[in-house]
Amino acid sequence: MSQQEQLAIVGGRPLRGRLRASGSKNAALYALAAALLTAEPVRLHNVPEIRDIGEMGRLIESLGGEVTIEGGDVTLDASGVTETVAAPERVVALRASFLVMGPLLARFGEAGCPSPGGDAIGVRPVDVHLTGFRALGADVAREGQNFVARAPRLEGSRVFLDYPSVLGTVNVLFAATLARGTTTIVNAAAEPEVEMAGDLLNAMGARVSGHGSNRITVGGVESLHGTEFSIIPDRIEGGTFLLAGLATGGDVELEGAEPTHMDSLLTKLREAGARVEVSDHSVRACVDGPLRAVQLQAVPYPGFPTDLHAPMAAALTQAEGISIIHERVFENRLLYVGELRTMGGRITTGGQSVIIEGATRLVGSPVRALDVRAAAAVVIAGLAAEGETVVRDIVHLKRGYPRIEERLEALGAEVHAR
């Protein structure tokens, strides 16, 4: 796919209907990396069919692993891994590539990786990961462009994370599974994707408890084994579709979802006047009248997810009153604001706060997809706008939203890839 690929959206049609939640992009990336911890095959199901999965697969292959991707089923066999240093050309595109560090260090006593890439949404250092590896007894150094960690056998320990970094928690969790003795990770990220990583590790023979809370305990074991495991639904992708439904005055039902992972979003949607119906594995959101402005902060889980900040802002352009979003996770999440302004959104920023005055009649315009969630925001705005919106660089959109055109069309949207 070319970087310039575009998506044309003819706005003004309410999105209506049902769709099935995809498997979580982030959780699937963690699961692929976890397979490096064992010499036995790991079979994953419900893996979303997006580029990032292929990128992670190629990184694992470049280390000597075998990766077979058949639609949503991915089989990994890391028995042949011989290389413990990730090649720079394999990590530039993907921040999650740094997750090879924990498993390689734990299993082979040595791991190296350049500073990882990913979306340009802030400084995104890796100090939390490195401090965690050091706390487990590893020597960590910068060698050329690589971070290199070494320890013949990691030692379980109390690891305090300065910040509950999601990838940092997962990396330290991976490393601790094969350490000698018990590790406690304090101030751990509690995101459902981290919880799933702990469940997967336990299915591989690890002894992890407390995952999904801010304190994770890991009893080290000698080795892990293969398993078969299904990826959890993507709360961010699902939330994006619910927001698109509401922004267009529609009615969207998400099936195969996990509503308990979506408390913060669903609470805000209700506060904004949406009718939200939840059952065991489905969520439906629609509007009876106009949406109302809300205020929120994007914070670590279980608070409102930073990944839904931009999509929420786009939907709030259609809410009456003044909405305020304060971004507290990434310092560079506000790239979408200029694009929404181009479309007629009345949005201002002050520091890390975004102030949205609504409801606004948005006008279809040429806009850019600047990162995966900024892309989702302009798509939502385009669906709600009058006339045609052409989104450039939708390669970013496709990183987080499998078969996006088809899924939007199934809900009644008029979209065309160009």
Q: Which of 160, 42, 149, 69 is nearest to 104 (CA)?
A: 149
User: Does the footprint of ligand UD1 cover residue 26 (CB under 6 A)?
Assistant: yes
Q: Give the distance, in angstroms, between the CA of residue 228 and the centroid of all CA atoms in the same chain.
A: 22
User: Does the footprint of ligand UD1 cover residue 160 (CB under 6 A)?
Assistant: no
Residues 323-342 touching ligand UD1, rule: CB under 6 A, are: 329-330
CB of 134 vs ligand UD1, minimal distance in Å: 12
Residue 69 CA: distances (Å) to CA of 97, 201, 203, 389, 398 = 18, 21, 21, 34, 17
Residue 307 CA: distances (Å) to CA of 152, 182, 312, 358 = 38, 33, 9, 22
Grouping H, G, I as helix, E, B as strand and the rest as coil, residue 240 is helix
Q: Please state, in angstroms and rounded to a whole number, the distance separating the CA atoms of residues 311 and 391.
A: 15
Stretch that binds ligand UD1, among 68-76, 122-130, 378-386, 403-411 (CB under 6 A): 122-130
User: Is the Cβ of residue 28 or residue 287 nearer to ligand UD1 in the bound state?
Assistant: 28
Residue 151 CA: distances (Å) to CA of 28, 102, 134, 179, 293 = 27, 11, 9, 10, 53
- The pair of three-digit structure tokens given for residue 172, joined into one six-digit string: 């330290």
CB of 190 vs ligand UD1, minimal distance in Å: 11
Which of 37, 104, 105, 128 is close enough to bind ligand UD1 by CB under 6 A? Answer: 128
Which of 54, 80, 125, 181 is close enough to bind ligand UD1 by CB under 6 A? Answer: 125
* DSSP notation for 25-82: HHHHHHHHHHGGG-SS-EEEES---SHHHHHHHHHHHHTT-EEEEETTEEEEE-TT--
Q: Please state, in angstroms and rounded to a whole number, the distance separating the CA atoms of residues 98 and 85.
A: 11
User: Is the Cβ of residue 121 or residue 244 nearer to ligand UD1 in the bound state?
Assistant: 121
Burial 117-154 (b: 16+ CB within 10 A, else e): bbbebeebebebbbbbbebbbbebeeeeebbbbbbeeb
User: Does the footprint of ligand UD1 cover residue 122 (CB under 6 A)?
Assistant: yes
User: Is the Cβ of residue 131 or residue 230 nearer to ligand UD1 in the bound state?
Assistant: 131
User: Is the Cβ of residue 176 or residue 291 nearer to ligand UD1 in the bound state?
Assistant: 176
Q: Which of 77, 86, 88, 98 is nearest to 29 (CA)?
A: 98
User: Is the Cβ of residue 373 or residue 392 nearer to ligand UD1 in the bound state?
Assistant: 373
Q: Cβ contacts of residue 106 below 8 Å, gap of 6+?
A: 37, 154, 174, 175, 176, 177, 178, 179
Q: Find tokens 């910068």 and name the residue.
A: 142
CB of 57 vs ligand UD1, minimal distance in Å: 15
User: 8 exposed, middle or buried (CB, 10 Å; 0-12, 13-18, 19+)?
Assistant: middle
User: Does the footprint of ligand UD1 cover residue 124 (CB under 6 A)?
Assistant: yes
User: Is the Cβ of residue 104 or residue 291 nearer to ligand UD1 in the bound state?
Assistant: 104
User: Does the footprint of ligand UD1 cover residue 166 (CB under 6 A)?
Assistant: yes
User: Is the Cβ of residue 96 or residue 367 nearer to ligand UD1 in the bound state?
Assistant: 96
- The pair of three-digit structure tokens given for residue 67, joined into one six-digit string: 């990766």
Stretch that binds ligand UD1, among 142-150, 165-173, 198-206, 355-363 (CB under 6 A): 165-173
- The pair of three-digit structure tokens given for residue 161, joined into one six-digit string: 């994370």
User: Does the footprint of ligand UD1 cover residue 391 (CB under 6 A)?
Assistant: no
Count of residues engaged in binding ligand UD1, rule: CB under 6 A: 21
Neighbours of 270 (CB within 10 A): 13
Which of 129, 211, 284, 396 is close enough to bind ligand UD1 by CB under 6 A? Answer: 129
User: Is the Cβ of residue 37 or residue 96 nearer to ligand UD1 in the bound state?
Assistant: 96
Which of 306, 317, 323, 365 is close enough to bind ligand UD1 by CB under 6 A? Answer: 306
Stretch that binds ligand UD1, among 106-114, 116-124, 205-213, 245-253 (CB under 6 A): 116-124
User: Does the footprint of ligand UD1 cover residue 294 (CB under 6 A)?
Assistant: no
Max Cα–Cα distance, the chain, nearest Å? 63
Q: Helices in 302-371 by DSSP H: which ranges?
A: 309-316, 336-342
Stretch that binds ligand UD1, among 59-67, 101-109, 161-169, 227-235 (CB under 6 A): 161-169
CB of 26 vs ligand UD1, minimal distance in Å: 3
User: Does the footprint of ligand UD1 cover residue 95 (CB under 6 A)?
Assistant: yes
Which of 15, 33, 126, 266 is close enough to bind ligand UD1 by CB under 6 A? Answer: 126
User: Is the Cβ of residue 74 or residue 390 nearer to ligand UD1 in the bound state?
Assistant: 74
Point out which residues bind ligand UD1 (CB under 6 A): 26, 29, 95-96, 122-129, 163, 165-168, 306-307, 329-330
